[in-house]
């Protein structure tokens, strides 16, 4: 079996083990595609509980709407999203996306997500502050597009199981998932959620709980 084939088999086995252990995780939290997009931008470099606090502030003022957020003052927006941290930086990033959505799609999310997956991904990556993980989170969780999100948890788990090298590129890790599994948004959604939960509960950066991890049997 080639190394690539071994990697694909390993990813399939990991999914089966984690899916059996955790069950359906129904991730990502969000009442609407737009809330998911805002959350994807706000969650950069912060814990989700902080993002939820910021989203709650926006919800309480009925501001989770593209046009309303676009037209409020930057200082006001920054104050509202303060719980998410780096609030001035994230205000600029949110406004950059909102301007993009307004100029390219007239604030119409249906038109945004009707775009071809890879064309839209390239457009998103051209928006200030939108990197690969954020773009893919928007596409998968906001738009239901079959693209796999690679984050620090995913990278750490695969490195520790010898599936990828320490210096593996985002695109290469993503391609490994997308050639190993059927191209299904619900499947990619669930698999990513399984990896996030495994990373949080067992495969921690410090003091990992390898002896309790359901993946200990995958070696």
Q: What is the pLDDT of residues 201-213, one digit of tens each?
A: 999 999 999 999 9
Q: Are 131 and 96 in contact (CB under 8 A)?
A: no
The count of domains in the chain is 2
Query: Are 55 and 136 in the same domain?
Result: yes
Query: What local confidence, expressed as pLDDT, does residue 1 receive?
Result: 55
Instruction: Quickly count: other Cβ atoms within 10 Å of residue 118's Cβ.
Output: 11
pLDDT of residue 29: 72
DSSP state of 65: S
Beta-carbon contacts of 80 under 8 Å, excluding residues fewer than 6 positions away, are 54, 57, 58, 61, 63
- For the segment 45-71, the average pLDDT, to the nearest whole number, is 96
Cα 33 from Cα 68, distance rounded (Å): 16
3-state secondary structure (DSSP) of residue 212: coil
Do the beta carbons of residue 151 and residue 131 sit within 8 Å?
Answer: no
Domain holding 198, by residue range, is: 3-26+150-218
Task: Return the pLDDT at 9.
Answer: 86
**Pair 136, 156 in one domain:** no
94 shares its domain with 161: no
Q: Return left, alpha or beta for 24; rule: phi > 0 is left, psi -120 to 50 is alpha, else beta.
A: beta
Cα–Cα distance measured from residue 219 to residue 210, given in angstroms and rounded to the nearest whole number: 12
pLDDT score for 30: 80
Residue 122 has which token pair?
């390239």
Same domain, 22 and 80: no
Same domain, 64 and 114: yes
What does the pLDDT look like over 114-166, one tens digit per residue?
999 999 999 999 999 999 999 999 999 999 999 999 999 999 999 999 999 99
Domain boundary among 142, 163, 190: 142
pTM for this model (two decimals): 0.94
Residue 218: other Cβ atoms inside 10 A: 13
Average pLDDT of the chain is 94
Q: Are residues 10 and 58 in the same domain?
A: no
Best CA proximity match to 121, nearest among 106, 107, 96, 140: 140
Going by C-beta distance under 8 Å and a sequence separation of 6 or more, which residues neighbour residue 25? 190, 193, 194, 197
Q: Which residues contact 52 (CB under 8 A, 6 or more apart)?
A: 29
- The tokens for 105 are 């799609």
Picking from 126, 142, 158, the residue at the C-terminal end of a domain is 142
Final residue before a domain boundary, out of 142, 162, 196: 142
Residues 18 and 37 in one domain: no
């Amino acid at each position: 079996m080639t190394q690539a084939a071994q990697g694909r088999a390993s990813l399939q086995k990991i999914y089966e083990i984690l899916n059996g252990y955790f069950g359906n995780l129904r991730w990502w939290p969000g009442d609407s595609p737009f809330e998911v997009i805002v959350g994807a931008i706000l969650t950069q470099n912060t814990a989700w509980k902080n993002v939820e606090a910021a989203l709650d502030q926006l919800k309480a003022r009925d501001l989770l709407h593209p046009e309303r957020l676009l037209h409020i003052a930057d200082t006001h927006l920054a104050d509202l999203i303060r719980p998410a941290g780096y609030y001035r930086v994230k205000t600029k990033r949110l406004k950059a996306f909102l301007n993009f959505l307004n100029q390219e799609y007239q604030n119409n999310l249906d038109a945004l997500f009707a775009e071809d997956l890879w064309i839209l991904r390239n457009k998103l990556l051209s928006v200030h502050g939108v990197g690969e993980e954020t773009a893919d989170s928007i596409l998968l969780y906001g738009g239901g597009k079959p693209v796999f999100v690679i984050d620090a948890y995913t990278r750490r788990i695969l490195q520790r199981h010898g599936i990828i090298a320490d210096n593996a590129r985002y695109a290469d890790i993503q391609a490994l998932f997308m050639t190993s599994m059927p191209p299904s948004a619900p499947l990619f959604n669930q698999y990513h959620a399984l990896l996030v939960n495994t990373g949080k509960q067992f495969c921690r950066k410090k003091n990992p709980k390898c002896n309790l991890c359901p993946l200990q049997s995958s070696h």
